[in-house]
Structure 1
Amino acid sequence: MARRFIVEADGGSRGNPGPAGYGAAVLDPQTGETLAEAAEYIGTATNNVAEYKGLIAGLRAASALDPEAQVAVRMDSKLVIEQMSGRWKIKHPDMRPLAAEAKSVFPPGQVTYQWIPREQNKHADRLANEAMDAGKRGEQWQPKVPPGGTLATAAPEAPAPADDALAEPAATASPSVGWGSADLGAPTTFVLLRHGETPLTPEKRFSGSGGTDPVLSEIGRHQAERVASALAARGTIQAIVTSPLRRCRETADLVAARLGLDARVDEGLRETDFGAWEGLTFAEVKERYPDDLAAWLASSKAAPTGGGESFAAVARRVALSRDKLIARYAGRTVLVVTHVTPIKTLVRLALGAPPESLFRMELSAASLSALAYYGDGNASLRLLNETSHLR
């Protein structure tokens, strides 16, 4: 299981340009322990150059501890965060080589970026000012934290608490072992995103994997952009996996572009094949195929008319994809972009609920849900049908 680090970095210039320095700290996200510090006086430079150099120093310090680690960078520099996330172009020639150097420290996909207010970045700011003060005295800044150690003086500042249910769970224990009585390591978290609206969505028509494979509507693209902004602000997503159907791939691609990640396709996440019911409303199916519909509602093993897929069959392939994704992304937070039935199925399986529970959940277009999977095989539902980001 890959280790996780938080890197907090900052830089400053007393004059902009003027005497400048940077500071960076590597923190343990579970305990808040300071694992390494870096700071340096760099002579005359701008704020932005100092901030980038702080980022590079923080990433290098994290890499020295574990080059395979997953790193969450937190800085109060909007410029650096947006440029490194790929949302802003790097126009200044002095910034381009620094950004390239920062990207070279870890392979793509191992680093995420989050903007934080300045008051939450006091540790790195203090280090940057210590470095500038040392430079003013003609001295070199000296670290107080040995690599992998703890602060030799004051206790470390803990990272700011997560502000929503999409952040990694604070407890690392499964509910089955006494609400925190056993440490099972960080859970694997699935943030489940239903795709944005298509032309069929407002008409409530059956739209599975055996139909026309519709694209997002204009409203659906707007919804995907809104959820991308919300997820970028939270800064917790480390990987993206999507259903192969176009409405999901379009949604995933919009989010991936905003987060600076790639979206990986998983065939097992496709929607149910609704057979002859594809494109029809519930009322139309009830009128044309009343007996088949009644059987489908009564049993998870019954399939829609015309060679459709039963919920039992969907559950088998979704569970297989779930297990593969948990193994591949152990201890990480993964955005899973999929459809109504796969999301409801994952929730049902996590809760140990009966098949009929699928008909008792509401999932809006572009809604978010979240499940945490623990090392002992247990799971917990942390969020269902969250839509506040769409308002």
Structure 2
Amino acid sequence: MNTQHIYLIKHGETEENLQGIHQGRAVGGRLSERGRADIGRVGACLAAAGVAVDQMLVSPMSRCRESAELLAAALSPADVGVDERLAAKDSGHLGGRPRELAAAEAARHGVPIHRLRTPGGESSEDVQARYVDLLDEVSSGGTANHRARRARRGHRLPAAVAHRERLRPVPPARARIRRGAGGTGVEEDGQVRG
């Protein structure tokens, strides 16, 4: 029996994150030194856990493609595809502007920030709907073309990596990025590394 694992990996920290810029679709973004290091550690951790990648789906945003290139170097996926459904939120006139403006705009309209839809833009709920469609498609084992167009649930997913175990079950890697006062590290099976 083949088991499918889907890994959802957010892009690394960007230079624009450091400047307090709301990127959305308006700004592709460039990974910061820390962002590159974090994504490099995630790739190394997954590779060390023996994860074999059949397919990697990537947002068209440059920050996500840069993150995916670093992951691909560590994981050597059989197939890498860009899926527009993974694109960042279209924040209308707020894209590329300071983050505080989105919060102020939501307050002015009396809505939670995740429901804010600027003229010509979309809400976080709209984005989540795109992600859910893609995840449904991937998890249902659609065709290669369909699988290259899926991923959902959650907000701002840079890459969806599908992994199929072919011969024997392998325990899933229990790894996640931990950030704290002491810096960033990868927690794997309860132990923090890095």
Change (3 A) 1:296 1:288: closer
Q: Give distance in 2, aligned partners of 1:192 and 1:310.
A: 21
- Given the alignment, which residue of 62, 68, 78 partners 1:252? 68
Q: Which amino acid aligns with 1:321?
A: L
Residue 230 (1) aligns with residue 45 (2): yes
Contact 1:252-1:337 at 8 Å conserved across structures: no
Q: Which residue of 2 aligns with 1:322?
A: 135
Q: Which residue of 1 aligns with 2:91?
A: 274
Q: Give distance in 2, aligned partners of 1:386 and 1:311.
A: 23
Contact 1:369-1:383 at 8 Å conserved across structures: no
Change (3 A) 1:192 1:286: closer
Q: Give distance in 2, aligned partners of 1:383 and 1:276.
A: 39
Q: Give distance in 1, aligned partners of 2:123 and 2:160.
A: 23
Q: Give distance in 2, aligned partners of 1:190 and 1:224.
A: 17
Q: Which amino acid aligns with 1:205?
A: I
**Any unmatched runs of 5+ in structure 2?**
144-149, 162-172, 179-184, 187-192
Q: What do the CA deviations read for 1:69-93 (whole angstroms, capped 9, x no partner)?
A: xxxxxxxxxxxxxxxxxxxxxxxxx
* Aligned-residue offset at 1:280: 2.7
| Residue correspondences, number | 163
- Given the alignment, which residue of 264, 273, 290 partners 2:81? 264
- Provide the secondary structure at the position in 1 that maps to 2:134: helix
Change (3 A) 1:289 1:315: closer
Correspondence list, 1:330-345, <5 A: 341-343=155-157
TM-score under structure 1 length normalisation: 0.36
Contact 2:39-2:70 at 8 Å conserved across structures: yes
Q: Which residue of 2 aligns with 1:312?
A: 125
Q: What do the CA deviations read for 1:161-218 (whole angstroms, capped 9, x no partner)?
A: xxxxxxxxxxxxxxxxxxxxxxxxx3x3221111011111134432112x12112223
Q: Give distance in 1, aligned partners of 2:56 and 2:142.
A: 10
Q: What do the CA deviations read for 1:220-245 (whole angstroms, capped 9, x no partner)?
A: 22222222111110112423211111
Change (3 A) 1:237 1:270: farther
Q: Give distance in 2, aligned partners of 1:200 and 1:233.
A: 31
Contact 1:242-1:266 at 8 Å conserved across structures: yes
Q: Which amino acid aligns with 2:96?
A: G
Correspondence list, 1:105-254, <5 A: 186=3, 188-209=4-25, 211-238=26-53, 239-254=55-70
* Aligned-residue offset at 1:290: 4.3
Structure whose alpha-carbon radius of gyration is higher: 1
* Aligned-residue offset at 1:320: 1.3
Q: Give distance in 1, aligned partners of 2:34 and 2:68.
A: 15
Contact 2:132-2:151 at 8 Å conserved across structures: no
Q: Which amino acid aligns with 2:22?
A: F
Change (3 A) 1:319 1:384: farther
TM-score under structure 2 length normalisation: 0.67
- Provide the secondary structure at the position in 2 that maps to 1:273: coil
Identity %: 27
- RMSD between aligned alpha carbons? 3.6
Q: Which residue of 1 aligns with 2:166?
A: none
**Any unmatched runs of 5+ in structure 1?**
5-185, 331-335, 344-365, 371-381
Q: Which amino acid aligns with 2:13?
A: E
Change (3 A) 1:328 1:191: same
Q: Give distance in 1, aligned partners of 2:108 and 2:175.
A: 32
* Aligned-residue offset at 1:318: 1.4
Structure with larger RCO (C-alpha < 8 A, sep 6+): 2
